[in-house]
Structures are given as C-alpha cells and as structure tokens.
Amino acid sequence: MKLLQRRLNAQSLFIVVAAVLWQPFGVASIPIPESNCYALDNSSRLVDFSSWIGIPFEYEGKYSDVVVRFCKDVESRSQTGYVGFGRFDKFNHFVSGSGSVNFVQGFYHGDLMNCEDSPDKMGRTAQVNIICGSCLNGECKGGVGCICNVTYESTCRAVVELAIPCKEPGQRVFEGFTVGFHPRSWEIVYNGMTQLGFERAHHEFSFRTEQFHVALYMTAIASRSTLVQKPIVQVFPDSGLEVKLSGSGAAGKSPTTLSPSMLLIDWRCVKVRDAPYVVNITIPVEGYEPIEFFLTKMCEYTQDQGGDATRGWAVFGVISFIFMVSSILFCCGGFVYKTRVERQHGIDALPGMAILSACLETVSGAGQSYSRHEDLNAAFAREASWEHQPVPAQGTWRPSERKYGSM
Ligand SMILES: *[C@@H]1O[C@H](CO)[C@@H](O)[C@H](O)[C@H]1NC(C)=O
Ligand SMILES: *[C@@H]1O[C@H](CO)[C@@H](O)[C@H](O)[C@H]1NC(C)=O
Ligand SMILES: *[C@@H]1O[C@H](CO)[C@@H](O)[C@H](O)[C@H]1NC(C)=O
C-alpha cells in the first residue's frame, strides 16, 4: 500500500515537472482560422470547422428535400427545381447557441422570388441549429451526422436542425480584443485572434532598418478591459536588438473600445544581422489564453544614437578650441604690434582697449543716458495705458537724446 502511494507521488511529481517544463512551449498565439467556418462556444473556446466546409447533408421531406452544404448554402430541391435558402459568408453568422443547440449558423440572401418583402431584401434565409452529437429524436447516431428535422417558419425562412460530431473546443479566446497600427484598425489581432502574418515570424514582412519605432493600438471590450495585463517582450536572438516599450499600453492601462491604449515599440539595431530579429510580444489576459504576436525587424546597419550625440559634442569641442587659440593669437599679436609699432605701454596696449574705454565713458557719461531699469518701466507704462500716451516729463524720456548702446 505504502509502495503504491510512493509510486503515485513520484508519478504526480513527474507530471508537475513535465507541466512546468512544458509551459513555455504550450503557450502560443491563437491564430485566426484560415476560413470563416469557425465559432466560439459558450465559454469563448475556439471550435474550427474548416475541414467541414462544403460537406452536404440531405433531408427528405414530404414535398421537397433540403440540402445543407456546411458553411456554404442551404437549398430546397423539388420537382420544380432548386430554391436557394441563403448563403453562408460571414463568421459572425456562426455563433454559440443555448440549451441543446451548441451552435447557430445564419444563411442569408437566398432566392428573392415571392420573398421580396423580406427584411433588407435578403430573400430566403435559413438558420441551421447545430447539435454536437445526435438528434434529440434519437436519429443518426454516429457517422458524419445528419439533419434531424426541418421546419419552415414561412415560405421564406427555414430552420434546420443538424447533428454532427463536433471537435473538442480549443483555446479560450479573449473576444473583442484588437491590436492594430492605427487606433481604429486591427491588422495584428482581431477579436482576440492573431491575424495571419503575425502569428509567427515571417521574414518577408520585416520592418526595415530605418524604422526606429512603431506604434500599436489596443482595444478591448470595456467590461473586460481590466483583465488585460502588461505586455512582455522577447527578442530572438536575445542580444543585438534593443527593444523598449513605452506608452499607456506598456504601463498596463486598460484599453477600451473608445480609448485605445498605445504601445510604442522603440527598437535600435546594435548588431548587424543577415536574418531579421524576431520580436515576440505577449499580452497576458487574466483567465484567457494570452494574446501573442510576432514582429520582425531588419538590421542592415547599426543605429548608434548615443554615438551621434558624442560626435556632435566632439565637433563642438574642436571648434571651441580653434576659436580660443585664434583669440589668444590675435590678442598677443595686437599687443606686440601696439607695444612695438604704436609704442603704447601696459594696459593701454591691449587690443580693443580704446573701444572699451569709449564704451565706459558713454555709459557713465554725466546724466546723459538713463538706466535700463527706467527704460523697461517706461515701456511697461506705455503698454499699460496705450490709450493715453504719457507725456514725457522733465527729461526722463528723451528719445532724441538716446545714447543707450551707441558708441
Ligand atoms: C513568446 O514570449 C512568451 C512570453 O515571454 C513566451 O511564453 C512564449 O513561449 C514565447 N513564444 C515563443 C514562440 O517563443
Ligand atoms: C455551454 O454549453 C454546454 C453544452 O451545451 C453546456 O453543457 C454548458 O453548461 C454551457 N456552459 C455555459 C457556461 O453556459
Ligand atoms: C426538431 O425535432 C426536435 C426533436 O427531435 C424538436 O425538439 C425540435 O423542436 C424540432 N425542431 C424544429 C425546428 O421543429
């Protein structure tokens, strides 16, 4: 008994270890199915019926037979010919059902004859209720499935009950979530599913070297937006491309449909590489499969932003140095010239001294000019009462005598 227990413990330990090891590989993006023949079940799990497209199911009625071609169309066939009861075209016409019905498919735009009054001129329409398993009346057990019964709600609308063996539902999709290059677009993720081209690394769709950053916009249904968590970024190979995330999306702000959150990706090529770098962005969602998508980035040359700045300062330093040296040379030359040729001595011999002393004389020259302070106030007064120009009083304001700054 004890031995058995120990063996069981060992076994469960093995399962736990295997699960932990397996986890990073088990998490994957949910790529949007290749066809529009899929549905999300009542707990948001993806069920892909792509392999069922076009499979016909026939039902013999009293006056006419009904043929359902899966995810294609519904027809009634009789002696007088075929009558179309609608075509399947959009994925949002394939939804989860309730009660014994697992899924509901909508078929629209069938034959218009005698059904011209149908809403939106959609002609004859059909609804196919899909039961996973067998009919309630016990017909068609096993096999590829069958039509259980057909009811005509009117001459223009048929309701078909179809029993098929459904596949096991897949991953849990975070419905309504989008990621796009614009606030109102969803090129990358639509309805929680990663679009083809971003579900894994596609080298032919790489961002070019000169594209320094890219902005992504995320939206989610407001009532579920708090489930969205901070994105995680992974780069392959893990060195050579520096990736920084910023923006409201990187901070973990909840995106809604009305106010998308922005995820700004700054990437800088540090190492040149023939093949593009692969950037894996994962957005965990509480209780759902994470949103995962891949962007690829070429690095044909390095973008040394820091280096550019350093080079700028180096150029500035060299120019300053040249300026300083030439000033000193000019000063010394002038000094030598004045002492030797003009025979001036000491401080008078410094170049520019004549100009400087002239300046000093002008500024301190016996009450002929006014200080800058007064000038500012005068300007202010003029502005404050522009309707009544203050009349200059007793020589405080004499534009004609203006000497400020003159030499
Ligand atoms: C992408 O990154 C996530 C989170 O870091 C990781 O769990 C996942 O395994 C990565 N996907 C691939 C294909 O490497
Ligand atoms: C979803 O549908 C299945 C089968 O119809 C049912 O057993 C299950 O309880 C339903 N789950 C929810 C959450 O409605
Ligand atoms: C089809 O038959 C089932 C019994 O198998 C019945 O419950 C259901 O109401 C019928 N459907 C229609 C549309 O009449």
The answer to whether 281 and 232 are in contact (CB under 8 A) is yes
- Nearest residue (CA) to ligand 3, atom 1: 149
Q: Which amino acid is at 400?
A: S
Average pLDDT, the chain: 79
* Residue 43 Cβ < 6 Å to ligand 2: yes
Is 315 a residue whose pLDDT tops 90? no
Ligand 1 centroid – CA 233 distance (Å):
8
When pLDDT is averaged across residues 327-352 and rounded to a whole number, the result is 66
CATH architecture entry for 178-299: Sandwich (2.60)
pLDDT of residue 174: 95
Q: How far is the CA of 37 from the centre of ligand 2 (A)?
A: 21
Q: 146 is written with which tokens? A: 């069958």
Comparing 115-119, 240-244, 298-302, which segment has the lowest mean pLDDT? 115-119
Are residues 260 and 285 in contact, defined by beta-carbon separation less than 8 angstroms? no
42 lines ligand 2 (CB under 6 A): yes
The more confidently predicted of residues 251 and 315 is 251
Region 381-396 average pLDDT: 39
Pocket residue to mutate for ligand 1, from 198, 238, 282, most atoms within 8 A of Cβ: 282
Distance CA 7, CA 324 (A): 85
> Does the pLDDT at position 274 exceed 80?
yes
Nearest-CA residue for atom 14 of ligand 2? 42
How far does residue 21's CA lie from ligand 1's centre (Å)? 13
Residue 309's contacts (CB-CB under 8 Å, 6 or more residues apart) are none
Q: Is 102 in the pocket of ligand 2 (CB under 6 A)?
A: yes
pLDDT attached to residue 90: 82
How close is the Cα of 149 to the center of ligand 3, in Å?
A: 6
| Token couple for 388 | 């009544």
**CB of 44 sitting under 6 A from ligand 2:** no
Check whether 351 has a pLDDT greater than 50.
yes
Whether the predicted pLDDT of 370 surpasses 70: no
CA–CA dist 104, 159 (Å, integer): 10
Of 102-106, 274-278, 335-339, 387-391, which gets the smallest average pLDDT?
A: 387-391
Q: Where are the domains of the chain?
A: 38-164, 178-299, 322-401
The protein residue with its alpha carbon nearest to ligand 3, atom 2, reads 149
* Enclosing H/E stretch for 315: helix 305-337
What is residue 58's predicted lDDT score, i.e. its pLDDT? 93
Which residue has a Cα nearest atom 11 of ligand 2? 42
**What's the rounded mean pLDDT across residues 391-404?**
40
What pLDDT is recorded for position 118?
78
Measured from the alpha carbon of residue 163, the closest ligand is: 3
The answer, yes or no, to whether the previous bond of 237 is cis (omega within 30 of 0) is yes
Instruction: Using the atom order of ligand 2, give the atom closest to the CA of residue 102.
Output: 5
Residue 280: strand pairing partners: 234, 294
For domain 38-164, the CATH superfamily is: Mannose-6-phosphate receptor binding domain (2.70.130.10)
Q: Is the CB of 159 under 6 A from ligand 3?
A: yes
Q: Enumerate the β-bridge partners of residue 233.
A: 281
| Ligand 2 atom nearest to CA at 99 | 5
Q: Which of 174-178, 294-298, 340-344 has the lowest mean pLDDT?
A: 340-344
Claim: this prediction has a pTM higher than 0.85: no
Q: How many CB atoms lie within 10 A of CB 240?
A: 15
- Of the candidates 214, 239, 235, the one whose C-alpha atom is nearest the C-alpha of residue 279 is 235
Residue 335 has what pLDDT?
Answer: 59
Q: Quick check: 201 and 279 in contact, CB under 8 A? A: no
Give the position, in ligand 1's atom list, of the atom nearest the Cα of 292: 1
